[in-house]
Amino acid sequence: MTQFQPAALAGAHTALTTPFSPDGSHVDLPALEAQILFQASGGITGVVPCGTTGETPTLSDAERRRVIQTTVATANPLGVKVIAGAGSNATAQAIELQLEAEDFGADASLQVVPYYNKPSQEGLFGHFMAIADAAHIPVVLYDVPGRAGVGLSVETVVRLAAHPNIVAIKVANGSLGFVGDVAGRCDLAILSGDDPLTLPMQALGAVGVISVLGNITPGDVAQQIAAGNRGDFAAARVIHERVLPLATGLLSLDGNPVPVKAAMSMLGRDSGVVRPPLAGASASVRKRLAELLETVGVRGPAGALDSAGVSGTAGTR
């Protein structure tokens, strides 16, 4: 593979939702293309299809392939990087998905910690090393113990960082101490995986984010990251404090991506449909989202929130 510098993944990346038809029966590929165009217009560095926010466990193999292919085809001409979700809790399958993402033209892959089976640190090390040995594009580790049931230790991350194909880590474990330790012990590009913690993570050495909030307000996310990366933490903090209530709400009012898809529906940018076992946002959640969007100053194309979306009657199943 071409020598890849970790700094190339610095910046703001949006963890894309997967838009579905109003009945949830198929992926709405034109809506996905529109989402990526919206991200590019906001100055986003990259997009991440088929991650947690993309409801990947509910996608068929064919749908997952189409989502990645469509994302690459749309993003590449815009100069937007694609970090394709390609993880699995089976090492052999993760390798297959890694190679598939490469064939589709992704710039890097996102490899989640194996979920459910709770491997040891040595098992995690072997899993990611096997993927990296097979890879020809950069690998981004994804540490999210709240979903996986197990997390990477700093020591394991440092060992993995020695592999030339492992260039970054998405940190979604809630630990600022972890970020500081990793930044001090290896040269992986650290990407925040938790919007409310992005600013303090940058202060400790993170150089970017894989953001849920970016689905709603990519310009703010991009500007905050840019400010922090040039050392202007005062400017970054102004943005952080303004968007923090919305960023927190998107991750706490219901399980991801229920709130963000509801918010996008209210803004006229998504059907708002999620697939089972997720359920659509309740009326109370939508009401709170409307308040948060208004507070942050985010409005739909007509300049106001969709009243049907606010009432909770749109985008539910």
Q: Read off the pLDDT of residues 189-201 as tens digits, 9 standing for 90 and up.
A: 999 999 999 999 9
**Rounded to an integer, what distance in angstroms lies between the CA atom of residue 185 and that of residue 170?**
16
Q: Using pLDDT thresholds of 50, 70 and 90, give the confidence band for residue 299.
A: confident
- Residue 1 lies inside a defined structural domain of this protein: no
User: For the segment 199-219, what is each residue's pLDDT rounded down to a tens digit?
Assistant: 999 999 999 999 999 999 999
The residue among 306 and 293 whose pLDDT is bigger is 293
Average model confidence (pLDDT) for the chain?
93
- 116 is known as an active-site residue: no
Instruction: Give me the pLDDT at residue 300, please.
Output: 74
At 220, is the pLDDT very low, low, confident or very high (cuts 50, 70, 90)?
very high
Is 61 strand, coil or helix?
Answer: helix
Q: Are residues 226 and 266 in the same domain?
A: no
Choosing from 115, 116, 118, 142, the catalytic residue is: 142
User: CB within 8 A of 309, min separation 6: which ones?
Assistant: 262, 265, 266, 267, 272, 286, 290, 315
Q: Does 278 lie in the same domain as 144?
A: no
Residue from 115, 116, 170, 261 carrying the catalytic annotation: 170
Residues 20 and 224: their CA atoms lie apart, in Å, by 30
Within this chain, do residues 65 and 140 fall inside the same structural domain, yes or no?
A: yes
* 287 catalytically annotated: no
pLDDT number for residue 199: 98
Is the pLDDT score of 57 beyond 70?
A: yes
Q: What is the mean pLDDT of residues 107-126?
A: 97
* 12 found inside a domain: yes
CA 201 to chain centre: 16
Q: Would residue 236 count as lying in a domain?
A: no
Q: For residue 270, what are the domain limits?
A: 253-317
Instruction: Report how many domains make up the chain.
Output: 2
Alpha-carbon distance of 84 to 87, in angstroms, equals 9
Q: Which of 142, 37, 26 is nearest to 84 (CA)?
A: 142
Whether 246 is in a domain gets the answer no
> At CA 221, angle to CA 216 and CA 227, rounded to 5?
160
Whether 142 and 80 map to the same domain: the answer is yes
| pLDDT average, residue stretch 234-242 | 98
Residue 170 sits in the same domain as residue 275: no
**The domain that contains 64 carries what CATH number?**
3.20.20.70
Mean pLDDT of 27-53: 98
The mean pLDDT value for 71-76 works out to 98
The alpha carbon torsion through 212, 217, 218, 223 (nearest 10 deg) reads: -110
Q: What is the mean pLDDT of residues 59-88?
A: 98
Same domain, 296 and 149: no
Q: Is 20 inside any structural domain?
A: yes
What value does the mean pLDDT take over residues 29-51?
Answer: 98
Cβ neighbors of 238 (< 8 A, separation 6 or more) are: none
Please state whether the peptide bond connecting residue 277 to the residue before it is cis, i.e. omega within 30 degrees of 0. yes
Classify 226 as helix, strand or coil.
Answer: helix
258, 224: one domain: no
- Residue 154 covered by a domain: yes
> 271 in a domain, yes or no?
yes
Q: Final residue of a domain: which of 197, 230, 263? A: 230
Residue 285 domain-assigned (yes or no): yes
Q: Three-class SS of residue 210?
A: strand
Same domain for 167 and 311, yes or no, is: no
Predicted pLDDT of residue 87 = 97
> 159 with 306, same domain?
no
DSSP state letter for 8: G
Phi-psi region of 231 (alpha: psi -120 to 50; beta: other; left: phi over 0): left
Domain match, 187 and 52 both: yes
C-alpha Rg value of the chain to the nearest Å: 18
Residue 317: pLDDT over 60: no
Q: What does the alpha-carbon distance between residue 267 and residue 240 come to, in Å, rounded to a whole number?
A: 21
Report pTM. 0.93
Cβ distance 239 to 220 under 8 Å?
yes
Flag whether pLDDT at 105 surpasses 70.
yes
| Count of beta carbons in the 10 Å neighbourhood of residue 147 | 14
Q: What is the pLDDT of residue 311?
A: 34
Residues 18, 137, single domain; the answer is: yes
Is residue 203 domain-shared with residue 260, that is, in the same domain? Answer: no
Question: Residue 157's pLDDT is what?
Answer: 98
- Residue 307 above 50 pLDDT? no
